[in-house]
Structure 1
Amino acid sequence: MIGSRCTGRDIYRTAEIAMVPSFSDGIGVIKIPATIVRCIGYWEHMNSSACDYSKFSDHCQHFGLYARRLRLPSALCLPEICDLLRTSNLETLEIHWIKLKDHVDGICELLKQNSETLKSIEFVHCKLSTSFIDAICDSLWIKGLKTHGIEHFSIRISNFLDTSSSTLPAGLASFLSSGRCLSSLSLSDDHLRRNFVEMILDVLFDSSSNIAALDLSENYMSGWPSHFKWTSRPGKQLSSGIGKSLQSLRVLNLRNNNLQRDDVDFLKYALVCMPKLESLDLSDNPIEDDGIKNMMPYFVEMSEKPFSLIDLKLGQCELTFNSVSQLLNVLSRWKKPLTSLSIGENNLGSKIGALLGKFLSKGLQSLDIDDIILVLPAFRKHKMK
């Protein structure tokens, strides 16, 4: 958005016009609707000012200086947009529907132009080849420095076109390993496979960033990287130089990744590398009772830690009373109790009611037990806030 929420509408109005097949002019000449000009209070100046506020180029020239957040559709990812926004100091950039090289060329110029001020960048509904990813990541380096200032990086509901490759795109690997400011990484619903995720984790394991939130949800990661079993052990003290990014992790989202019971057996070794983890989302994964049993050593170890999980999501994991009752018994012994627990949409039966009643007295603030087939009305659809 440029200037304010109201003026942000002109971007999408301009994009709609630019996408018309018969449109052949530069985007700068596109007229801004009168409703938007009125909304920002400049309609009365239209006749007296030398600046034509109804023209997109003049609009950018006048308000571009104040632009900090920009949501950009692919139709406007052109070199011309860089000239129109040459006075901007963007901090947040959200880009939609990039599919062509022309789109990437335009957005790369905009990234270079704002590399010193950008803090957050998100790609949505994009198709990204290795060359596209490399070009984008290379454009984020701060001029004269082999580092970047990006704090939040997200690619969601998109396609990586070369996920079967045996190597991670060099630009992405360099971006992840050299960003000391990077605190949040989201690669959600990107059709990622296990080998690609494994390479991402390998880079993070050796990088110098301090990522606090990692979202890998809505992918297809069945076959969690097993090499973590050999690089870490429960109870093993990690040196400060190993797995620095994972050691700083506080939020891990693995929702709906088709993780199986054997996957979480390996996952518990990766979790050892995340001593500050506060939130773990494993919901919508068919890990079953055996999966919870495989993770039990991790939960037992956490009971002795001063810092442990406070938010655990295990909804729709095909669990039964047997595994959840064991889990609740372990969680009730934690020095620092959970504040939020989700075990909804599992076939737990009415017997779980008594255990839940005891567990509620341990300091729990939020409990999601929707659709767990409880007989007791008080527990049928109970959610504390």
Structure 2
Amino acid sequence: MGDVPSLTSLCMKAISLAASGTDGGFDDLQDVFDLPSDLFDALLMHLSPLAMEKLQAALCCGDMDGSDTIGTTEENKRGRYDELSRTWEALFKVRWPENDQKMPRIRLIEVPAFVGSHEDKERIDWHQRYWESHLQECLDEASEKALLPSFDGCIKEIGISNALLDSIGCCKDKHNVCAKLSYHCQHFGIYARKTRCASFLTEKLEFQATCHRINVYVYKMSFSLQEQVKCSSPVSCKMSSLGISNLKPMSLRAVKLCDVGMGPRIANLVFDALHISSSLLTSLDISDDNLAGWLSKIPRESNTFTPSTLSSDSVGGLTSLSVLNLRGNNLGEDDAEDLKFALLRMPRLKQLDISDNPLTDAGLRSLIPYFLKSIDGPDPLSDIRLENCGLSSSAVVQFLDSIQSLRMPLHSLSLADNNLGSCVGVPLARFLEPSRLRRLNIEDVGLGPLGFQELERGLPDHVDLVWVNISKNRGRMKAAEFLAKLFPSAPELAAVNAGFNFMPADSLRVIGDALYRFPGKLQRVDLTGNANLRAPSPPSVLSDIRFRGKPVLILPSSPSTAAYDDDP
């Protein structure tokens, strides 16, 4: 006859089983922290990692809401954290003994308020290390399944093996939420150390059941997590292990490889694999990756840019692409010429963002032939973003004059954060009527009073704008006078951002009168940042102009006490 279990051991087993559930409740667990230290330490030895996670969450929850039911003194709290940390260390070393000597000292993600010493803040956070390593194993396992030619499902539905579930003490029932990759990403993704990885896991992995949501998301997560363990070449080693060529048969819809440090060589692999695939890719984001010179290595189908080279009859995985983001890749004027030819592979492109690249005027001029053909093509380009590209009015005027009379109208254009100066006012006004533009962003382009004056004088009697951003242009009273003319000329206008334009106090009367007489469909006119404007007291009739109960005119919350002029 076996040994009869003690009442204490039975209670500990019952607590462990209850804590291993996935319902997320913490009410009963909070009482555990009132146990004497010897019983508390003994209990920890019986808990699975999943149960430990719930127990630690209960402790943190109590700290955040000020509860005193989970420890009566700061010393007791500190003791509980130390006991938990030692248990996490033991769990880690049992599961990954080969990695024990590779753990660098790191700064804790969250340090309790009572932990104040430098040594405490720099010690290893075994709790975070455990779940980060577990998540990496889940992603590695899921990536192998996702890259099989037969895979045609959703990332969220990929099952986690019994071995991994058993390692954290999770029930192996196939109907258990723990059995899916989505559970592990949503619950343990916060333990990825770098902000961009944590943000990606918690915000970008939306797991929409009706969407095929790009298997390359697994790449993104894997890249970031590899960086955490100091892989000498995180992108190349992970890309190699996943097998980039296996992208070919997938039914991809969207690829996001943003800020992963992949470099030109890996970018070429991705681009080539997508180009020769049979996927139905609609969105590609390769931004903030410093890819200067990358495009020169992409083979051209032709050395001559002619109307016939841009055709919807092209074949390949990029022919269905409608959204391309190459923002912040350090692409210069030489890259622009290569980009023009690379874009030939994307005949259905609708949105192109090449902002935050030092293209300069020469680069924009190189792209004008592509813009002419793509905007006027059978599947027209409709949204162009050229923010902060080192452009001057010379190339921008040439660009506007070239595309203003095309058969198909441009829907959205952003020229923000380029030093265009006042001389762009007349060309902009000339561009607005025939282009039938709906959204215009000219924030911080240096219009000044003269530029607004020219823009007002040349503004057509009817424009199709529904949204416009003219903020940070130091327009003073001329900016207010432009708005007064814009309101009646744009009957579909819904939102205006005119903040930070150094408008004098009299501007409020000019704008208010025009808004009162021509409210149209306006929902919001933002004048914040104009320190001399503030709501009149007593409230004027402007306060009665509302959209769905909210005031249309948004004014600074309080007058500025600082000197207000336009001097440097």
Q: What range is the shorter-chain TM-score in?
A: 0.5 to 0.7
1:91 matched to which residue of 2?
Answer: none
**How far apart, CA to CA, are the structure 2 residues paired with 1:381 and 1:97?**
45
The Cα of 1:28 is off from its aligned counterpart by: 3.0
1:282 partner amino acid: I
1:270 pairs with 2:342: yes
The Cα of 1:169 is off from its aligned counterpart by: 1.7
Structure number, greater radius of gyration: 2
1:253 matched to which residue of 2?
Answer: 325
**How far apart, CA to CA, are the structure 1 residues paired with 2:282 and 2:270?**
15
1:337 matched to which residue of 2?
Answer: 409
1:187 pairs with 2:257: yes
The Cα of 1:314 is off from its aligned counterpart by: 0.4
**How far apart, CA to CA, are the structure 2 residues paired with 1:8 and 1:330?**
60
1:27 partner amino acid: P
After superposition, residues 174-323 of structure 1 pair within 5 angstroms as 174-180=245-251, 182-228=252-298, 230-232=300-302, 233-234=304-305, 235-236=308-309, 242=315, 244-323=316-395
2:447 partner amino acid: L
SS at match of 2:338: helix
**How far apart, CA to CA, are the structure 1 residues paired with 2:129 and 2:405?**
49
* Counterpart selection for 2:154 from 69, 94, 118: 118
1:382 pairs with 2:482: no
**How far apart, CA to CA, are the structure 2 residues paired with 1:247 and 1:113?**
27
**How far apart, CA to CA, are the structure 2 residues paired with 1:208 and 1:246?**
9
1:44 matched to which residue of 2?
Answer: none
Equivalent residues, number: 292
After superposition, residues 33-182 of structure 1 pair within 5 angstroms as 33=58, 102-109=134-141, 118-119=154-155, 150-151=213-214, 153-154=216-217, 155=220, 158=224, 159=227, 162=233, 169=240, 171-180=242-251, 182=252
1:354 pairs with 2:426: yes
Alpha carbons of structure 1 residues 351 and 215: separation in structure 2 relative to 1, 3 Å: same
TM-score of the superposed pair, with normalisation by structure 2:
0.45
1:363 matched to which residue of 2?
Answer: 436
- Can you list the C-alpha shifts for 1:35-63, whole angstroms capped at 9, x where unaligned? 99xxxxxxxxxxxxxxxxxxxxxxxxxxx
- Can you list the C-alpha shifts for 1:204-223, whole angstroms capped at 9, x where unaligned? 11111111000001111000
The Cα of 1:312 is off from its aligned counterpart by: 0.5
Alpha carbons of structure 1 residues 223 and 328: separation in structure 2 relative to 1, 3 Å: same
TM-score of the superposed pair, with normalisation by structure 1:
0.64
Contact 1:163 1:196 in 2 (8 A): no
SS at match of 1:327: helix
The Cα of 1:174 is off from its aligned counterpart by: 3.7
2:249 partner amino acid: S
Contact 2:312 2:319 in 1 (8 A): no
Contact 1:215 1:252 in 2 (8 A): yes
**How far apart, CA to CA, are the structure 2 residues paired with 1:315 and 1:239?**
28
**How far apart, CA to CA, are the structure 1 residues paired with 2:424 and 2:215?**
40
* More divergent stretch after superposition (111-120 vs 332-341): 111-120
**How far apart, CA to CA, are the structure 2 residues paired with 1:8 and 1:174?**
41
1:26 matched to which residue of 2?
Answer: 48
* Counterpart selection for 1:373 from 446, 467, 477: 446
The Cα of 1:162 is off from its aligned counterpart by: 2.8
Name stretches of at least 5 consecutive residues in structure 2 with no aligned partner: 1-22, 30-40, 62-90, 96-127, 157-181, 195-210, 456-467, 472-492, 496-568
* More divergent stretch after superposition (335-344 vs 110-119): 110-119
The Cα of 1:116 is off from its aligned counterpart by: 6.9
Higher strand fraction (1 or 2)? 1
**How far apart, CA to CA, are the structure 2 residues paired with 1:168 and 1:111?**
11
1:40 matched to which residue of 2?
Answer: none
Contact 1:306 1:336 in 2 (8 A): no
Alpha carbons of structure 1 residues 97 and 325: separation in structure 2 relative to 1, 3 Å: farther
SS at match of 1:296: helix
Contact 2:310 2:347 in 1 (8 A): no
Alpha carbons of structure 1 residues 105 and 229: separation in structure 2 relative to 1, 3 Å: closer
**How far apart, CA to CA, are the structure 1 residues paired with 2:310 and 2:344?**
9
1:118 partner amino acid: C
**How far apart, CA to CA, are the structure 1 residues paired with 2:286 and 2:129?**
20
Tell which has more relative contact order, 1 or 2 (C-alpha 8 A, sep 6+): 1
- Can you list the C-alpha shifts for 1:246-284, whole angstroms capped at 9, x where unaligned? 111100001111000000110000101100000000111
**How far apart, CA to CA, are the structure 1 residues paired with 2:143 and 2:299?**
39
Contact 1:211 1:246 in 2 (8 A): yes
Alpha carbons of structure 1 residues 116 and 325: separation in structure 2 relative to 1, 3 Å: closer
Alpha carbons of structure 1 residues 239 and 248: separation in structure 2 relative to 1, 3 Å: closer
**How far apart, CA to CA, are the structure 2 residues paired with 1:9 and 1:309?**
51
Contact 1:247 1:276 in 2 (8 A): yes
1:327 matched to which residue of 2?
Answer: 399
Higher helix fraction (1 or 2)? 2
* More divergent stretch after superposition (265-274 vs 112-121): 112-121
SS at match of 2:397: helix
- Can you list the C-alpha shifts for 1:168-212, whole angstroms capped at 9, x where unaligned? 5252414421212x1100000111211111111111111111110
Contact 2:235 2:261 in 1 (8 A): no
Name stretches of at least 5 consecutive residues in structure 1 with no aligned partner: 1-6, 14-21, 37-74, 80-95, 128-147
1:105 partner amino acid: E
